[in-house]
Amino acid sequence: MSTEKMSVGANVFESEIGGVSVRAKAHSLSAWFVLALRLMMGYAFLYSGATKIAEGGFSAGGYLTHSAATNGNPLAEVFAWMGSTPWFVEFANVAVPWGELLIGLGLLVGALVRLAAFFGALMMLMFYFGNWDVAHGFINGDFAYMLVFLAVAAFGAGRILGLDRLIEAYEIDGQPLLEKYPKLDYILG
């Protein structure tokens, strides 16, 4: 049995959660695939949001009230509450199209990518439950897209031909922004 020793550096990533460690070496083309995922999701969300805004009259009320109630959804009561609460429907009527547009724009230009990916994953989680269907198992397209958003965030896709690389390097008092404010790493990258 042979073991391969990996040195920490380019294309090596590792993590530990709950005492379980993983460590791997990524292929040199990985950055291109992560970039492709970021751009694909960015285009899809930008187009979806822009279309809803341009057409006007987007209403989430019917979806919230009816779709979850008809499909055995474990959150049916939550969706029913959201659909029957006027202020929440009004919020969703603005948040969905504009959220999609801004998430898409952030991903396409590579700015605030982790923040955009977080909200994209949250939207996909809500769509996952709203479109609940386990006829073919628990994994569907909404769930898969949620994982794509999380991967885009985890890999710091905004640093790959994106504005986040420039934003993080911006100097304040001679110190790069990310060094001066390390918590920004949660929204940039």
Q: Where are the domains of the chain?
A: 30-186
Q: Which residues pair with 71 in a beta bridge?
A: none
Q: How confident is the model at residue 182 (pLDDT cuts 50, 70, 90)?
A: confident
- Identify which of 41, 35, 39 has the alpha carbon closest to the alpha carbon of residue 142: 41
Between residues 178 and 68, the one the model is more confident about: 178
- Identify which of 157, 150, 102, 155 has the alpha carbon closest to the alpha carbon of residue 125: 150
Cα(80)–Cα(68) distance, rounded to whole angstroms? 8
Burial class (CB within 10 angstroms; exposed 0-12, middle 13-18, buried 19+) of 19: exposed
- For the cut 60, the answer to whether the pLDDT of residue 1 exceeds it is no
- For the cut 70, the answer to whether the pLDDT of residue 82 exceeds it is yes
Which tens digits make up the pLDDT trace of 56-74?
A: 989 999 888 887 666 778 8
Percent of the chain with pLDDT over 90: 56
Which tens digits make up the pLDDT trace of 15-42?
A: 889 999 988 888 888 889 999 999 999 9
